Chains A and B, each alone.
With several copies, the nearest count.
Chain A
């Protein structure tokens, strides 16, 4: 089965709302229940916000691609940019210090998804987020 959705935006934070709406509906249409879809929406929002803030350093006109598809018993979302790569995988994953204001994005992402991958290669950064969902009955 091929059925996937790719959302393309510029790195403007005002696009986050658009991303949440379309990614949420796409994950549901790919078989995620309400809870899994909401978790993915939260996680994707954080991942895309991180790209805007860190990979693109606040530039609002750089391209970001978000692709949603089914991968076995998971719904998978790929977030792709060509900005500055960070050492995302080795960032702290402890619950953030109570009154620190930042530093909660990666923690949230890891709490919300079942699988989390990050790769940088040839100037492009790719984060994969995967969440287990019920097995599809029939045509899905």
Chain B
């Protein structure tokens, strides 16, 4: 997995590449938690357009990120979900729990 963070004003975008599973989710969690910690009051977007696959560990990680963001008053958005990951969020009935955007741009502007 590759994780890069880019900043646009008060929005931080975490761009992820590669499968997010039990082996790689901790890395995702750490990167997003770092950004949330440094960004009270702002917005964090996780761009998953480079992620073909997520499993329940990644789902758990995203939920933890969402909770961490709320408790730090940070807006938390997902962007660019591919079909596979979207299906997993649907199956686990979590799509509506997240603020999901089609693209990174619309997640930044929202």
A residues with a Cβ closer than 8 A to B are: 12-14, 16-17, 20, 38, 42, 45-46, 49, 52-53, 95-96, 98-102, 104-105, 107-108, 111-112, 139
User: Which B residues, 43 to 86, have Cβ-Cβ distances below 8 Å to chain A?
Assistant: 53, 55-57, 59-61, 63-64, 66-67, 84
Distance in Å: Cβ of A123 to nearest Cβ of chain B: 24
Q: Are the C-beta atoms of B23 and A104 separated by less than 8 Å?
A: no
24 contacts between A and B (CB under 8 A): A12-B23, A13-B21, A13-B22, A16-B21, A16-B22, A16-B55, A46-B55, A46-B56, A49-B21, A52-B22, A53-B22, A95-B92, A98-B93, A98-B94, A99-B67, A100-B63, A101-B64, A101-B67, A102-B56, A104-B56, A104-B59, A104-B60, A105-B56, A108-B92
Q: Are the C-beta atoms of B19 and A17 separated by less than 8 Å?
A: yes
Given contacts A16-B55, A20-B53, A112-B91, 17 further A-B contacts (CB under 8 A): A14-B23, A16-B23, A17-B23, A42-B55, A46-B55, A49-B21, A95-B93, A99-B66, A101-B63, A101-B64, A101-B67, A102-B56, A102-B60, A104-B56, A104-B60, A105-B56, A108-B88
Asked if B97 is an interface residue, CB under 8 A from chain A, the answer is yes
B residues with a Cβ closer than 8 A to A are: 19, 21-23, 53, 55-57, 59-61, 63-64, 66-67, 84, 88, 91-94, 97
The answer to whether A99 and B91 touch (CB under 8 A), given A13-B23, A139-B23, is no
Q: Are the C-beta atoms of B60 and A38 separated by less than 8 Å?
A: no
Chain B's interface: helix, strand, loop or mixed, by majority? helix
Residue in A20, A49, A52, A99 whose beta carbon sits within 8 Å of that of B63 in the complex: A99
Residues of A with C-beta under 8 A to B23: 12-14, 16-17, 139
Q: Are the C-beta atoms of A49 and B60 separated by less than 8 Å?
A: no
Residues of A with C-beta under 8 A to B60: 101-102, 104
A96, B19: Cα distance in complex, Å: 23
Q: 10 smallest A-B Cβ distances: which pairs?
A: A13-B23, A101-B60, A104-B56, A13-B22, A14-B23, A49-B22, A101-B63, A105-B56, A101-B64, A16-B21
A38, B86: Cα distance in complex, Å: 13
Q: Are the C-beta atoms of B21 and A108 separated by less than 8 Å?
A: no
Residues of B with C-beta under 8 A to A38: 84
